Structure 1
Amino acid sequence: MYAVYSLCLANLRKKKVHNGLIGILILLSTLLLATSVTVILNTNNLFTDMHNKTHGSHEMLTLGDELHDPQKVHQWWNEQEGVTSSELIPFRTLSGMTNQGKEPSTALSSLTLYMMDTPVRPYAVDELIFAQGDERLKPEKGTIWLPTSIAYLYDISAGDTLGFTTGEKNFELKVSAVIVDMPYGAPFPTSVRIWMNQQDYNEQFDAMQGKDQYMMGLRFDDYSQSISYWEQFEQDMGMPYLDSKRTFEGMSSFYLIMNKMIGFIMIFLGFVMMLVALFTIGFTISDDIISNYKTIGVIKALGLSARRLIGVYLTQYAMIAMVAIIPGLIASQWVSSFIVESALSSLKTGIMEINLEGNLIAVAVGIFVLILVILCVLFYSNKARRVQPMQAIRYGMSESANSTMTKRFAAKENHSISFGRSPLLVVIGLRNMLKNRKASLLMMLLTTIMSAVLVLGFVLLNSISSIKQTAPLWGYDSSDIALQINNKSAFSREEFDKAILSDPRIKNIGWAGFVNGVVSSERNLNTEHSMVQPMNFQIDILDGTYDELGYTTLRGENPRHKNEIAIGINVAKQLNKDVGDIVEVYLEGYKHMLTVTGIYQSIANMSYSARIAVDVIKVNQTDYNGFIIANINLKNNRDADHVVNEINVKYKDSASAVAQQTLLDATIKQAVASLILPMSIMGLLFTGVTIIIIYSTSRINIRKESKTYGIYKSIGLTSTKIRLSLTLGTLVLSTIGAVIGILVGVYLLPKILGSILSDYGIAELPLVLNWGGIIAFACVAMISAGLGSWASSRVIAKASPQILVIE
């Protein structure tokens, strides 16, 4: 045992740098794996805990009085056992707001605002949690409560004053508190609930045209039984629910999507880094056995068993792994906390900080890494069993290996192809690559992985930042300007159309609205989907041409006629429908039999939506005029800002316009902020790992060839030329790896990542490929490999030819 202990300490002392680098590699592998597991676990746990704490709703109903009597619906749900319903909360819809005293924000002005007539707290469903300001039963007069999702994103605090407009008049209210509002508090907000004092609500909206709408939250004791409740609702009411409904899946999706994406990337790359670490350990042990073959033979001849020789390697790397895993686990808690808090910041309050769970699982990850290291060491160190003392002492290798080498040298002498006419630097570099094939494979693998990681990060960030180019593939239109009507009584569509179409800068215009569509579960009784809950989803209506405004489909085409409909991929999946099938849909209480002409994807509502032409709704409502948004295309999109300013000045009392780019920027602002940090961390980690491993591997190769390099120096070859030749060989390998990495990062990894987004309504991840940036990031991998190789060869410059030859 003392011999094992002594040899282990000798190996640790002799290869301090190399052992330290392997320790760092194990640390980083542990960090990525533990962080990814912690992020995925806590994303779900934190959301679930807050949802339970606030008695969050599983479904949110929005009711008018045209299709259902809100009071009857509320009464029916109050009578159901196993369901808790909120109060029926009146609200009015406004468009955008301003933060007084600060620069105007086009992102804030594009938000859809639900101005709530706040009932007295506490609430049975969707209780509000206070993050800033004094907790009260209801807002005081002249004040509002603002959700954290908007306050944190746009730097609004308690005490700020916000401005609103009804189209007829402007008014201001002071933020008295910032609250967590679960149903409308997710990241990437496009709509938000503003909680008003009842007196303010009456004063501002009594004179406003239109009627109150109502919201009501439903919380089920067993959410899986909601289907049976809705079937009973349809029987009792004599018709399916036709108004708008948000499901738990829709409310929770944007809380979870970013961290699930980040967690997946990290767990994938963590496993890749772990494999690289194991390959490096295996390469190091194999090389050590070959390099010290004669020494091992002598030790075995003196009586040390093969089992104890294996124990030397096992003890050495187990000690390194244990020392590396502990700080990796500690660091993962900090990194995980940072990522989770940045993506779920809307759930964070000043009083209750986000505390991460899953320490035991993180420890299990550490144990898993340790077991992998031990198994790897056992596998590769088992080669020491095959060392025969007599052969080792005589040949310095096995007899079979010596015979193979002799035949190889003889073959080289008779080989017609040689490096005789190649430049000396190229010969030395290529010889180093070909002689150390395992090391060369490891270097190429590293640069492949590093370039793939860097390219993937760049492609994702560039694609999200350049969403304007791929907006139709995310489910948006590609028009240049969006106009929203704020006051229908003061707005004339006929006059607007006449004025806007006479402008030579305008290419075309389309008017958009939406209704809530319903597919009754009765229609599915004879299919395998007979237990599907009646589907309520938004149906977009367009007076114009979908194709002209840039809307696209994955299969088929957009609807044009009164008997056609295009549906989102999740609607198609749930209904088991495809292009050419018939769908029975209720629109505004009327039944329509529509042919599916296309299937499309949309991130905005998880592809739970559909598209129809205005002719469909006009079959029963010839005077339909529910359009609230106009999408305008320009002949030259550089005129967008000028046209927007002119429209806002001319129609300031009835409508507001905003450039489409501004709307998209507001939507993706938080996505970019959430992605850039973890992708940067992973890019830096893999860059550091690449430099570390290539440095370590090159040092091993140089140590094995020290006598050869001593001879080179003694006959007049300078250290710089030797180092350049070695670096050149590494650059050739890294170039091959970088090319493969580009293909993996651009084509393979996005497809794997896209599988996660399929549940969120995106079947094909829209990418914007900037090849200049892609090649630049791939070059970073090549440069890192070159730096690692150059740094490792510094020992050649420092050592004299005599010492190298002696070694």
Structure 2
Amino acid sequence: MYAIITLCSSYIRKRKIQNGLMVVLIFLSTLLLATSVTILTNTNNIFEKAHHDSSGAHQILTMGNNIHNPIAVNEWWQEQPGVTTSSLIPYRNLSRFTFNGKEISNIYLFMMNTPNTPFMIDQLLFSEGEKQLSPPKGTIWIPTSLASSATISLGDAIEFHTGESTFNLTVSGIVVDMPYGGPFTTNARIWMNNTDYQQHLATMTGSDQYMMALRFNDYQQNTNYWGDFEKYLQGPYLESKMEYEEIASFYLIINKIIGFIMIAFGIAMLLISLFVIGFSISDAILTNYRTIGVIKSLGLSSREISITYVLQFGLLSAVAIIPGIIISKFLSRRIIESSLSYMKAGNHLTIHQDTLFNILIALILFGIVLLTAYFYSHKARNVEPVQAIKYGMSESANSKMNRRRNSSNRLFRLRSLPIQLQIGLKSITKNIKSSILVIALTSITSAILVFSVVILNSFISIKETSPSWGYDASHVVVTVSNKETFTKQQFEDFLMADERVKDHAWLDQFTGILPNDSHPPLNINVNVIEGSFDAAGYVTMSGRNPISKNEIAIGLNIARALNKNIGDIVEVYLEGKQHFLIVTGIYQSIANMSNSARITAEVIKVYNTTYTTSEVSMINLLDETVATPFVEDLNTHFKSSVSAVTQQLLLDAVFKEVVAVLVIPLSIVGILFIIVTCIIIFSVSRINVRKESSTYGIYKSIGMTSTNIRWSITIGILILSIMGALAGIFIGIKLIPLALQSIILDYGLLELPLVINWPTSIGISFVSVIAAIFGGWISTKIIAKTSPRILIVE
């Protein structure tokens, strides 16, 4: 045992730099894997905890379109055992408010007449402010999502516009509002004092809408309750319903993507680490072949020599894994707090970091390293003492080396190539394993960098691909905020008289009910257009948009749920009326997770001949650059009745959060892999230089300068890294987004719409080449420091 420990400590001391780099690699692998696992486990845990602590709703029903009696619906659900039902909460809709002198019109507001807290279900968790029975008079509670996106703090005053009047309320609480407070939402519930509600909103033209929440003791049984409910209604429920899956989905999507990326790249880094461990052990056995032969001849067994290497890398992995696990706690906390800030109640998120689980991860990684070291160290069993002492390698290896030298010498007959390039190519062909490692490493690093740049650029440039995300491509969006003061004819006359306007369309939204065999009916959003979907910029994945009164286009997940394709007939209820429509197209949309459909206004007019759309107008201009002054003119001219905003502003409001959350993890992973590329290539190149030291000594003795030799070796690395970088561009743009399909499909996307800036993508991919060249150049520094005589002797 003493001999084993002595040899192990000798190997560690002799290769300080190489062993140090190995520690760094294992540390980074541990860091990425442990962080990703913590993120994924906590994402669901934090959401489930917040949902549990708030007695969160499983379903939210909204009523008020004179289809069902809200009071009767609420009373029926109140009577059901196993279901907790909230009271009916009256609300009014607003689409405009002003904060700090800036009008914000990209948030759709539900102005709630707050009942006394605590609610039986769907309680509000206070992030900031004092929890009270209800907001004090003159104040409101707002969700964390609105506070974050509009940078609103406690004590700030907000001015609300009803179209008929304006009023100011002060923020006295910022709350976690689970159903309408998630990331990427364009809705927000504003919780008002009853007196303020009656004074400012109850007198508005129109009638109250109503919202109620349902929580099931066993959510899996909700289909049975709905079957009974529809029997009570004598037909399907025809108004809006939000499901638990919709509430949860957008809280989880970003961390699912981050976790997927970090796990995939963590595994890639671990595999690279294991490859380098195998490479290092193989090199150590070859380098110390004669020494091993002598040791075996003195009586040390092959098993004991193998244990020497296992012990060496076991110690190195222990030194690396423990700090990797510890630091992952801080990194995962930083990422989670950034991506799940909307569920932060009080001063912190309840992040659960299971020590036993971290220990299990550490043991698994430790075991993998030991098994790898044991597998590769078995080569020491084949060392024959006599051959080792005579050749410094096995006899067969000696013959192969001589043949390879003879074949590689032919390379120098290519006299048309510069001598430096010849030496570089020789270093590639003579060290096949290390050459493959350099290509693999630079391709992975390049892929990570390219994917990171492409995905961030795609969200930043969302306007270019908005139709592929399921949005329109219009330049200006106008929302009618007060129907009583709005005149559609005057508005259209204004558009017709403005030479900047190219065309426009009107969009309305209905709740559609699609019966589903053996499943509850699907409550979906149906977009109704007066005009042309194509002119507004809406696209389909297959088929086309509807143009007549018997046609419909459906979202991807609706097509999957109903097993419908182009040309099939779907049954849909709109305003309580039954329609049978032909599917003309299928589209993807992240909004509503593709649980939506498109029809023309002609479908509604089949039963409602006087129907006209006057909810949202989508306007295209002849020159998009004049969109901002055009919006200002619209808001000035129709100030009391509409709210106009550029489409760019609407998209930025939703997707800027994605960029902010993704920047940190993608940057960390990219920087780590750049460092790893430099480290590994330094290590591998250092090994190869040491193996070929006598050859480089001969080159120096016949007149080549150290700089020329170093550049020759670096040229070989340059060629390999360029090959890897080019492969990485393909992997980053094609394969990684394809691998993400399993996640994004649940959110209504079959393909991730990417905006590829080719100069930037190609440029960032060559950062891996720079890292490789730098590592290779530094590793050859020993050639400049050592005399030709010593190199030849070595």
- TM-score interval for Structure 1 and Structure 2 normalised by the shorter chain: over 0.9
Equivalent residue number for residue 649 of structure 2: 662
2:183 to 159, 177, 187: 187
Alpha-carbon displacement from aligned partner over 1:285-333 (angstroms, at most 9, x marks no partner):
1111112211111111111100000001000000000110001001111
Matched, 1:156 2:143: no
User: Is this contact kept in 1: 2:548–2:602, CA < 8 A?
Assistant: yes
Offset at 1:349?
2.3
Matched, 1:575 2:570: no
2:356 to 351, 356, 360: 360
Matched, 1:496 2:491: yes
Letter in 2 for 1:583: V
User: Is this contact kept in 2: 1:341–1:354, CA < 8 A?
Assistant: no
Letter in 2 for 1:785: A
User: Is this contact kept in 2: 1:742–1:774, CA < 8 A?
Assistant: yes
Equivalent residue number for residue 699 of structure 1: 686
The SS at the match of 1:119 is coil
Alignment of 1:102-501 (within 5 A): 104=102, 108-410=104-406, 418-501=413-496
**Structure 2: distance between partners of 1:4 and 1:512:** 78
The SS at the match of 2:160 is strand
Offset at 1:577?
1.1
Alignment of 1:795-806 (within 5 A): 795-806=782-793
Alpha-carbon displacement from aligned partner over 1:495-550 (angstroms, at most 9, x marks no partner):
111220222211110000011001234xx1xxxxx1x1211011000001001111
Equivalent residue number for residue 557 of structure 1: 544
After TM superposition, the structure 1 stretch with the greater mean CA deviation from structure 2, 271-280 or 128-137, is: 128-137
Equivalent residue number for residue 55 of structure 2: 55
**Structure 1: distance between partners of 2:164 and 2:415:** 89
Offset at 1:357?
3.1
Matched, 1:13 2:9: no
Letter in 2 for 1:50: A
**Structure 2: distance between partners of 1:351 and 1:681:** 26
Equivalent residue number for residue 688 of structure 1: 675
**Structure 2: distance between partners of 1:756 and 1:471:** 20
**Structure 2: distance between partners of 1:134 and 1:730:** 63
Offset at 1:133?
1.3
After TM superposition, the structure 1 stretch with the greater mean CA deviation from structure 2, 396-405 or 215-224, is: 396-405
Offset at 1:409?
4.3
After TM superposition, the structure 1 stretch with the greater mean CA deviation from structure 2, 623-632 or 556-565, is: 623-632
- Aligned residues: percent identity? 50
User: Is this contact kept in 1: 2:55–2:122, CA < 8 A?
Assistant: yes
Equivalent residue number for residue 758 of structure 1: 745
The SS at the match of 2:484 is helix
Give the direction of change, closer, same or farther, for the CA distance of 1:217–1:8 in structure 2 (3 Å limit).
same
Aligned residues: 794
**Structure 1: distance between partners of 2:106 and 2:460:** 19
Letter in 2 for 1:236: Y
User: Is this contact kept in 1: 2:408–2:426, CA < 8 A?
Assistant: no
Letter in 2 for 1:513: D
**Structure 2: distance between partners of 1:628 and 1:9:** 77
Equivalent residue number for residue 4 of structure 1: 4
Equivalent residue number for residue 612 of structure 1: 599
Give the direction of change, closer, same or farther, for the CA distance of 1:385–1:775 in structure 2 (3 Å limit).
same
Equivalent residue number for residue 704 of structure 2: 717
**Structure 2: distance between partners of 1:163 and 1:708:** 80
Alpha-carbon displacement from aligned partner over 1:438-487 (angstroms, at most 9, x marks no partner):
11111111100000000010110011111111101101000000000011
The SS at the match of 2:607 is coil
The SS at the match of 1:397 is coil
Letter in 1 for 2:373: V
The SS at the match of 2:299 is coil
Equivalent residue number for residue 623 of structure 1: 610
Equivalent residue number for residue 67 of structure 1: 67
Give the direction of change, closer, same or farther, for the CA distance of 1:804–1:597 in structure 2 (3 Å limit).
same
**Structure 2: distance between partners of 1:649 and 1:124:** 44
**Structure 2: distance between partners of 1:705 and 1:464:** 49
Offset at 1:75?
0.2
After TM superposition, the structure 1 stretch with the greater mean CA deviation from structure 2, 7-16 or 153-162, is: 153-162
**Structure 2: distance between partners of 1:65 and 1:411:** 85
User: Is this contact kept in 2: 1:474–1:601, CA < 8 A?
Assistant: yes
Alpha-carbon displacement from aligned partner over 1:243-271 (angstroms, at most 9, x marks no partner):
00000011111100000000001101111
**Structure 1: distance between partners of 2:281 and 2:157:** 67
Offset at 1:619?
0.6
User: Is this contact kept in 2: 1:447–1:782, CA < 8 A?
Assistant: yes
User: Is this contact kept in 2: 1:230–1:534, CA < 8 A?
Assistant: no
Offset at 1:135?
1.2
CA RMSD of aligned residues (A): 1.3
The SS at the match of 1:182 is coil
TM-score normalized by structure 1?
0.97
The SS at the match of 1:189 is coil
**Structure 1: distance between partners of 2:535 and 2:620:** 9
Offset at 1:411?
5.0
The SS at the match of 1:548 is helix
Letter in 1 for 2:590: I
Equivalent residue number for residue 513 of structure 2: 518
**Structure 2: distance between partners of 1:786 and 1:135:** 60
Equivalent residue number for residue 794 of structure 1: 781
TM-score normalized by structure 2?
0.98
Give the direction of change, closer, same or farther, for the CA distance of 1:412–1:745 in structure 2 (3 Å limit).
closer
**Structure 1: distance between partners of 2:723 and 2:110:** 56
After TM superposition, the structure 1 stretch with the greater mean CA deviation from structure 2, 625-634 or 635-644, is: 625-634
Offset at 1:804?
2.1
Give the direction of change, closer, same or farther, for the CA distance of 1:495–1:153 in structure 2 (3 Å limit).
closer
The SS at the match of 2:102 is coil
User: Is this contact kept in 2: 1:150–1:189, CA < 8 A?
Assistant: no
Runs (5+) with no aligned partner, structure 1: 525-529
After TM superposition, the structure 1 stretch with the greater mean CA deviation from structure 2, 91-100 or 559-568, is: 91-100
User: Is this contact kept in 1: 2:506–2:613, CA < 8 A?
Assistant: no
Give the direction of change, closer, same or farther, for the CA distance of 1:416–1:179 in structure 2 (3 Å limit).
closer
Letter in 1 for 2:38: T
Equivalent residue number for residue 537 of structure 1: 524
Alpha-carbon displacement from aligned partner over 1:554-599 (angstroms, at most 9, x marks no partner):
1111111111111111111111111111111110010101111111
Give the direction of change, closer, same or farther, for the CA distance of 1:52–1:491 in structure 2 (3 Å limit).
same
**Structure 2: distance between partners of 1:661 and 1:696:** 49
**Structure 2: distance between partners of 1:627 and 1:230:** 33
**Structure 2: distance between partners of 1:468 and 1:540:** 20
User: Is this contact kept in 2: 1:8–1:315, CA < 8 A?
Assistant: yes
User: Is this contact kept in 1: 2:460–2:659, CA < 8 A?
Assistant: yes
The SS at the match of 2:764 is helix
User: Is this contact kept in 2: 1:483–1:655, CA < 8 A?
Assistant: yes
Offset at 1:420?
3.4
Equivalent residue number for residue 527 of structure 1: none
**Structure 1: distance between partners of 2:288 and 2:202:** 91
The SS at the match of 2:591 is coil
2:759 to 772, 791, 801: 772
Alpha-carbon displacement from aligned partner over 1:367-389 (angstroms, at most 9, x marks no partner):
11111111111111101101111
User: Is this contact kept in 2: 1:234–1:241, CA < 8 A?
Assistant: yes
Letter in 1 for 2:489: E
Equivalent residue number for residue 94 of structure 1: 94
Give the direction of change, closer, same or farther, for the CA distance of 1:351–1:740 in structure 2 (3 Å limit).
closer
The SS at the match of 1:5 is helix
Equivalent residue number for residue 31 of structure 1: 31
